[in-house]
Every structure is written in C-alpha cells, then in structure tokens.
Amino acid sequence: MNNIFNNSDFYPTPQEVIYKMLQHYDVNGKVILEPSAGKGDIIDILISEGAKDILFCEKSEPLQKILNGKGRFLNADFLQVTSDQISHINAIIMNPPFSEGVKHVLHAYEIAPKGATIISLINSSNLKNDYTNERKQLKTIVESFGTVTDL
C-alpha cells in the first residue's frame, strides 16, 4: 500500500503557521472552506477556535477518511467547486498543494462570495517570479486587495 503521506504536494501545516495565518481573522462562529484539507491540521485549529461550520475538499480518499467527522466533505477537487456551492461561507483558509497554489488562490478569488476572506499559504516565488499570466494575475489581485506576510 502507498504511504498516503509520501506525496510531493503533501505539506502538513505546522500549528504555529496556522495561528500566524489566523492572527488577523477571528473564525469564531464563521463558516469556513478548507480546499485542500490534507489530514486536517487547519481544520483542527478552526474547530478549536470556534468555527461554526467547516466544509472541505481533499483528493486523497485515505485522507478523506481521516477527515471524516471533522467537517463536511464538499468535493474531492477544489478546482471543480462552484460559487453557488459556497455562497454562504465567510472565508476560505488553505495551504494548497504547492504545485497548484496559484490556481487554487485564483479559483478561490473567482468563486468566493462577496465579502469573504481568503487566507492562503503559498510559496513566495509565486509572487516574486511573475513569469506566467496566472502569476501576474495573482500578483495584481494581492497588490489590489490583499496583504503578504513572509513566514
């Protein structure tokens, strides 16, 4: 059997990083989407901080089983989620696969309801080296509407 954690895109999010991601956002009573939930590290902290409801996406079926009961499964592939499926959420909080980080953030921006907060951990090179149209689009969005914290 393949080790479910032996995947080049599987990067569990350390607790201290999650708390840093959440330092300016109160999740208490909020409905949150976690698009690439992995084994649930972000979800565990969202629960402990009082999130009202958590929706999640996760491609790996073994990881989906680990996540069972921590939130509501929405879709295996976040990039297939539509705006009508998440029209009621308050935030998208994620550590997407590094190989698809830009696509995940752009998709989140495209489908998030008006007023929703997007918090994402991504490789800083995605903003510093804007040699693709997707990276240029991401940089423009972040410069116009967001903030960046180097960890």
Burial 36-52 (b: 16+ CB within 10 A, else e): bbbbbbbbebbeebebe
Residue 20 confidence (pLDDT): 95
Helix residue spans in the chain (DSSP H):
15-21, 41-48, 61-67, 101-111, 125-128, 133-145
pLDDT by residue (tens digit) across 37-80? Answer: 999 999 999 999 999 999 999 999 999 999 999 999 999 999 99
Per-residue pLDDT of the chain (151 residues; tens, 9 = 90+): 455 556 656 678 899 999 999 999 999 999 999 999 999 999 999 999 999 999 999 999 999 999 999 999 999 999 999 999 999 999 999 999 888 999 999 999 999 999 999 999 988 887 788 889 998 888 888 888 888 888 7
Name the 3-class secondary structure at 21.
helix
Looking at residue 1, its pLDDT comes to: 40
How much of the chain is in helix, strand and coil states, percent to nearest 5?
40, 15, 45
Instruction: Give residue 12's pLDDT.
Output: 81
Q: What's residue 16's pLDDT?
A: 96
DSSP-derived secondary structure letter, 71: B
pLDDT confidence of residue 2? 52
Tokens coding 44: 């565990």
The confidence score (pLDDT) of residue 82 equals: 98
